[in-house]
Every structure is written in C-alpha cells, then in structure tokens.
A and B are shown apart, each in its own frame.
Chain A
Amino acid sequence: MSEAQSTEKKPVTYINTPVAVKYDYTAGKATSDFMRAVAQGKILGNRCPQCNRVYVPNFLVCVQCAVPMGEPFEVPDSGIVLTFCIVNIKFYDQVLEVPYVSAYVLLDGTDLPLMHLVQECNVNDVRMGMRVKAVWKEELSPSLESIRYFKPTGEPDAALETFKEYL
C-alpha cells in the first residue's frame, strides 16, 4: 500500500452535527402548587390517606400506596438534620465555597426529608438530630432557592430513637 492510499484511509474520527431541540416542561399539578406556596414563603406537604405519611413537597400520588394524596397544607419551616454530608470537592460552576453542608432536613410533622443546605455554623458542628430552621430570602420566587439555607436554632438535639425509622 502506498503512503497516499494509507492517508486516504485514515478513519473519520470527528463530525460536527449541531442538534438543538426546545422543550416547554410541565411541572405538574403538585409541583406547581408547591412552587406557588414557596413564592409566598410557605412550604407545602400532604398526607397519604392510607399510610398516613406526610410528603414534602406535596405529591399527587403516594409512591408506596399508589393512592391519591390528600389536600396540601402548610408545614413548619423548622425540623432536624436527618443526615448530611460535608462537601469538600470543588467542581465546575460551584456556587458555594467549600467546605459546605448538604443535608436532609426532616421538617416537623413530616415523613419525607427535604434536601437543602445548613449554614451559619462550623461544618464540623453539624450533627444528626440537630434542630434547624429555614432562612428565607427577602425576595421570594417559585424556587427552592427562596430558602437560602437552614440554620441551627440552638434547641436541644432530637434523640436518635425519634428519627431512626427515617434513616
């Protein structure tokens, strides 16, 4: 095989085919209700009539019982840190300075934790069972970013037995 031929048979390793498709998402009934409430500084949950669990955010169907959930109602914006992690890794587009705490916050009277941030304390002081409360932004919008983060209240920690079933 001559050199010219072998050059011709180089594999095509790259083609450029720009593809863009636009979508208009449908948040759904439950998420829309939740987001409208957040824009008013409220957190909504709802209860399954069969297993009695309270979901946060409110949901249309109980994922366990597959029955329609009850009417949404406002739940407290305070609760406990169920579990958490300290983020030490930097990644592209990161908004927060490391280290920071991502936590599962179990709001009082609810059965599904909400994922959010815990701040206004040293990351090493965050504990399972620690009492926290939401710190809201001045300007509210239909986004969970309306809650800046959860901060410790200083109240005594919840005992492990009281939240063990959620772990």
Chain B
Amino acid sequence: MRDIAIIAFAQSANKRNEQIYNEAEILAPVAREALQKAGLKKEEIDFTCSGSSDYLAGQPFSFVIALNAIGAWPPIQESHVEADAAWALYECWIAMQADESINTSLVYGFGKQSMGSPRDVMNILNDPYVETPLWCDTISMAALQGRALIDAGLATERDFAAVAARNLKHAKSNPKAQCKGDFTVDELLRSPTLASPLRKHDCPPITDGACVVILAAGDTAKKLCKRPAWIRGIDHRIDVQAIGRRDLTRAPSAQIAAEKAGVGAGKVDIAELHALFTPQDIILRKELGLASDCVINPSGGVHQGNPMMGTGLVRFGEVADRIIRGEANRGVAHATQGPCLQQNMVAVLEGK
C-alpha cells in the first residue's frame, strides 16, 4: 500500500441560489485555488475524477461541461462517478494504489440544487417500481428514520435540535457557511414541523456550490505540503436500498466501514459527518464509535451548507484542512449516499 494524503482543499461559498454563475463557472476558481494551494500546475495532475449528478443538473452529460473548468485539453486522464465526489476521491485513491505512475490526483464535486426541487429529484433515484411512484421524498424518508429513533427510545426531538444548534454554532467560524448562528434548543423547537418529527433545522439547506481536493502520494506529498493529511484507512459499505428492509435506527454499513478504516485504533480529535438530517448524526456517532471528547462537525457540518454531490468530499476537505493547519492530529471523514444512510464511506486522516 502506498501512503496517500490530501494536500489541498478549496470550496466555493455555500449559496442558496447562485443565479449568475453556472456549475462550470462556480467550479473554475475553486479548482485554481486548490492547485495554487498545492503548488501544482494543471499539467502536473496525473489523474482527475469528479462526482456529480445529471439528475440534479437536469441535463445529460453535465459533468462533461464541468470539465471545461479544469482545462481538459490536451486530453487528460479523467473519470467521473455519478455519486458524491467522496466516491471520486475513493476512485483516485484506488487508481494511485494500482498505478504508481499516478502521483497526484485532482478530485472535484459540484451541485446546483437550486435549479430543481431536490426533494423530488432525489425521488427519481429510488426503486422505479414500488418507491418512485409513491413520490416518497427525502425529507419524508428521513422523518421515518427520526420517528424510528424516537419510538425505540434512542433519541428525542430535543436531541435532534441539539445537533442542529451545535452545527449552526460551529458554522459561525466557517467563512463559507450559508447558515449559522446561536440558537437554543427551546428556540428551535418552537418552529413548525416539515415532516414530523423533523423541523427545518433538522434538514440540510439547499445549496449551490463546488469543492476540490488534491491528493498526492508518498514523497510527492511530503515535498508539496509541510503536513499532509495522510489517509490511514478508507472503506465504504452498502446496505439494502429498500428502507422497509432495514432497521432504520442503525447503519450497519457505517459501522463496518468505520471498523475497516480503523477509526477505533486511536483517539479521534475531530469528525466531519455527512449527516444530512439531525437523527443521522446521532446514529452515526454511535456506529462510528466516536467518543464524547471528539469534536463533531467543526465546520458546522452539512447544516451550514450542502453542495449536494460535493457535500461528502467537503467532509474530507474540512478534516484535512485542520490536520494540514496543525489544529488536529487524527480525524474521521464520513460520506453517505442513498436514502437514510444506505451507503457509507469512512476514512481516517492523520498528520503523522
């Protein structure tokens, strides 16, 4: 196994509705910033991989248009996943393990949720025979999960609100944050429910944005970065899609991924969780085995901004940034896909 690290991260400001710039235009300055931070020219990137969704963009092959933003001529070695860009990072990691001529990779993700109705768009990704015709949207599905936790006596609506309050408080120090502020649990609980038991603060915001991570292997990483964020373990697992076949109070795939990634092998200083809805934060902390002294979502997590298809990659970037800056030694990045934490990726990043 080669040592591979994140050496640079950049992201756009999270915006509710970016009406001037399109996806490629949002991405272009972010890619330049990441390359500049890494001290690399675009020609020095050996492999590029992106994550995005044509459903979200509402047009086929939308990811090809985004390639214009990173300068794909003369032709580059490139790939794309129709998934969160954390899975694009995973593909880069595999490519770098398999091919020692690949010493640097550029990973990017972008999403412009404001162009459509995300609740409805995500429904098209469900089972076409028995789920899509019901128009069971993401918030309703997450509400079933929240209700399952309450019914099992594992959490209360106050616990959900406490997660939101913590995220929004942390977001105050995040210059890219779309939502932030000081709220008490009582204040939050006074707002109406969107899909019982979930209120607005339990749900992720609708965000337009893009993010870029640069990976480097071994000596290349050491040469380019004073303190690279080494990927010491990474794994992803999947549960069945149909939520009726799962115990919604659990995420077994997250638990296995955390174990394989080696989360429990040492003290975890920080963790960034791709918990789209507050009940998922509670489930994930348990499945990942995170101790009470671990700082969860120092960036404000998903509730400060949710540039869908980049949101998972941002978790990697936020953990890596804090390690690169020397603010943390060991961190956990988590990314998810599918309804109610169906698929989970967990990585352990370390400064040493």
**Residues of A with Cβ closer than 8 Å to B?**
15, 17, 19, 21-32, 59-68
Complex Cα distance, B71 from A26, in Å, reads: 21
Query: With A61-B68, A63-B68, A66-B71 as given contacts, are A26 and B112 in contact (CB-CB < 8 Å)?
Result: yes
What is the chain B residue whose CB lies nearest that of A25?
B115
Residues of A close to B32: CB separation below 8 A: 66-67
Residues of B close to A30: CB separation below 8 A: 25
Residues of B close to A67: CB separation below 8 A: 32
Complex Cα distance, B112 from A64, in Å, reads: 24
Stretch at the interface among B14-22, B196-204, B318-326: B14-22
Residues of B close to A59: CB separation below 8 A: 68
Residues of B close to A23: CB separation below 8 A: 58, 115-116
Partner of B71, one of A22, A28, A31, A62: A62
Complex Cα distance, B129 from A17, in Å, reads: 8
Query: With A66-B31, A68-B28 as given contacts, are A19 and B71 in contact (CB-CB < 8 Å)?
Result: no
Minimum CB–CB distance from A95 to chain B (whole Å) comes to 22
Partner of B129, one of A15, A29, A63, A65: A15
**Residues of B with Cβ closer than 8 Å to A?**
18-25, 28-29, 31-32, 42, 55, 58-59, 67-74, 112, 114-117, 120-121, 124, 128-129, 132-133
Query: With A26-B21, A61-B24 as given contacts, are A17 and B132 in contact (CB-CB < 8 Å)?
Result: yes
Complex Cα distance, B71 from A65, in Å, reads: 6
Residues of A close to B133: CB separation below 8 A: 17
Minimum CB–CB distance from B79 to chain A (whole Å) comes to 18
**B128–A17 touching, CB < 8 Å:** yes
Partner of B115, one of A24, A64, A65: A24
Minimum CB–CB distance from A59 to chain B (whole Å) comes to 7
**B68–A26 touching, CB < 8 Å:** no
Minimum CB–CB distance from B304 to chain A (whole Å) comes to 22
Complex Cα distance, B22 from A97, in Å, reads: 35
Minimum CB–CB distance from B172 to chain A (whole Å) comes to 29
Besides A23-B58, A67-B32, 10 new A-B residue pairs in contact (Cβ under 8 A), listed by A number: A21-B116, A21-B124, A24-B114, A25-B115, A26-B21, A60-B28, A61-B28, A63-B72, A65-B71, A66-B71
**B70–A28 touching, CB < 8 Å:** no
Query: With A17-B132, A63-B71, A66-B70 as given contacts, are A26 and B124 in contact (CB-CB < 8 Å)?
Result: no
**B58–A21 touching, CB < 8 Å:** yes
Query: With A19-B124, A21-B116, A61-B28 as given contacts, are A28 and B22 in contact (CB-CB < 8 Å)?
Result: yes
Minimum CB–CB distance from A33 to chain B (whole Å) comes to 10
Residues of A close to B67: CB separation below 8 A: 63
Query: With A17-B128, A21-B117, A66-B32 as given contacts, are A26 and B18 in contact (CB-CB < 8 Å)?
Result: yes
Complex Cα distance, B128 from A108, in Å, reads: 52
The 8 closest A-B pairs by CB, nearest first: A66-B71, A28-B22, A23-B58, A61-B28, A17-B133, A63-B68, A23-B116, A64-B73
**B116–A29 touching, CB < 8 Å:** no
What is the chain B residue whose CB lies nearest that of A65?
B71
Complex Cα distance, B176 from A89, in Å, reads: 52
